[in-house]
Each structure stands twice: as C-alpha cells, then as structure tokens.
Amino acid sequence: MDRIEAAFAHRRDSAALIPFLNASDPDLDTSLELFRTALRAGADIVEIGAPYSDPLADGPVIQASALRSLRAGFAFPQVFEVAAHLRQETDKGLVLFTYVNPVLQYGTERFFRDAAAAGADGAIIPDLPWEESEPIRKAADRAGVHLIPLIAPTSSEARIARICQDARGFVYCVSSLGVTGERARMSERLQALVSAARRSTDLPVAVGFGVSSPEQAANIATFADGVIIGSAYIRRVEAAVTAQPDTSAGREAAVAAVRTFTESLRQAVAGKGAIRQSGAGALDDRSPATSTPD
C-alpha cells in the first residue's frame, strides 16, 4: 500500500484532509513549519505548491501567496527541498502542485525523478489537458510518482470515464468553475460529479477548489473521500503575517492559525465517512449523472 492509498485507508470513518500551501510563503523556513503544523494537527496529505508567475488556475488569494513567495526568493528546486524535509519527519502523503510550463522548463524526467528522490508521492498539474498528458504520465510512472488528474463540473460522463481510467493516486474533483478561491456555495452538480468518477475508478475521489469552511468540509465529507482546502488556509496565513509588524510574531501567528484551522476541519469531517459509506446524504453511485458537453 503506497502512502496516498494509506492516507485514505486510514480515514475509513472520515474523509482525508488535504491542505494546500505554497512553498516559501512567507519564507522557506516558515512555510516548512506551516506544513509540519498542518500534518501534526490532523492533515492526511499536504499539497506543496510550487509558486509560479502565471498561475492560471489560481484566484487572487493564492496568486498573492505565490507573489510573496517569489519575492522571498523562491526557486523551483525548493519545492523538492520542502518535500524532502517533510519526508524525514512523516509517512503521510506529500503531493506537489505545479503548472506544466515549469515542469517542461525543468525537464519532465528530471522533475519526476527529483520528486521521487525527495519523497513526494504525487503531482497535480492543473493546466495539463488529459489529451496531452500521456508523455508526462509515463514519466511520472517511471519515477513511481502518481500524476493526479482533475475533473470538472462541465466534464461529460464519457470524458470523466476516460480521465479516471488513466488516474493515479486519487481523482481531484473541481467543485466549481473558475479559479481557486473561497466560495459560499458549491456546485449543485458536485455530488453527481463524484458519483460519476466512482463509476469509473476504484481510486479515492477528493473535492477541492472553493472549500472555505468546516461546514462545507463536513458536507463534502458525506459523499467524497477527501477534502482539499487551499485559499482558506492561505488567507489565514496572509492575515497573520500582515497583522503583525514584527516578523517573528507574524510567523508564530500564522502557525497558530494553521493549527487552529486544521483542528477545526479535522473535527468537522470526523465520522462523516461512516455516513458516506452507509449511503445517507450521498447520491447512489448507480444513478445517472447530469452531463454537459466536453
């Protein structure tokens, strides 16, 4: 059983909790401590963002985070450095989040080789179209790193099936259209999207993009295997470091904010897996999903 599989299996009575943070925001050492804190407070997998100057899938909160990181001197190999430090301390899942252009510039084979050497279990590349993913997926497979695909509310069931057949690690369900960012409401098609994925794969299905509160996480946990939260974490980090004129005090406040938020999310999703498995509050996976064209 690999570490991503184990992370979901460990939470049979719950949903896996998957925070996203950017490496080197607000600086490298502080970001490492934020990842550590999230893992210690109950996260099962962490997504380690590699800041990029043109983050097409990200909203203003994560874009600002990437800019802070780049201004702090982030260089692409530091994403492997963060993963390597964490791997020395934990056997939980580590997933890198980046864009296709940095991967190609770095070298695809080199990227996955270095990811594996650092102890990363998977990678998410949100702007990589499924139709163009095969060479990159094969490079990931050769390195033993899961290339985790995304499916969206606009995906037809046929397209979902094709993507899921090539999936590795878990399937990432995008909760709503547009870029990342907190939202008051989730897509009405979200449960159907998760069900459509389940009809095509036995891999875990996690939901991200727009999850902003413990209440939303608790609801998603009743029908999905994992909950991914990014902007809500980064907004708390940003508030902490900007509210404190003293740098060390701001860092301590950011760590405390990540700890408190992770604990609240862990408590919110606790026990929801049993509800999901019993079928209460979830769509029957055999029911037809409403589809839109590719």
Q: Which of 25, 44, 47, 182 is catalytic?
A: 47
Q: How far apart are CA 58 and CA 208, in angstroms?
A: 12
Q: How far apart are CA 259 and CA 10, in angstroms?
A: 21
Q: Which of 58, 114, 121, 157 is catalytic?
A: 58
Per the omega criterion (within 30 degrees of 0), is the bond before 26 cis?
Answer: yes
Catalytic residue status for 47:
yes
3-state SS of the chain?
A: CCHHHHHHHCCCCCCEEEEEEECCCCCHHHHHHHHHHHHHCCCCEEEEECCCCCCCCCCHHHHHHHHHHHHCCCCCCHHHHHHHHHHCCCCCEEEEECCHHHHHHHCHHHHHHHHHHHCCCEEECCCCCHHHCHHHHHHHHHHCCEEECEECCCCCHHHHHHHHHCCCCCEEEECCCCCCCCCCCCCCCHHHHHHHHHHHCCCCEEEECCCCCHHHHHHHHCCCCEEEECHHHHHHHHHHHHHCCCHHHHHHHHHHHHHHHHHHHHHHHCCHHHHHHHCCCCCCCCCCCCCCCC
CA dihedral 170, 16, 93, 78 (to 10 degrees): 100
Q: What are residue 96's DSSP bridge partners?
A: 48, 123
Number of Cβ atoms within 10 Å of the Cβ of 81: 15
Residues annotated as part of the active site: 47, 58
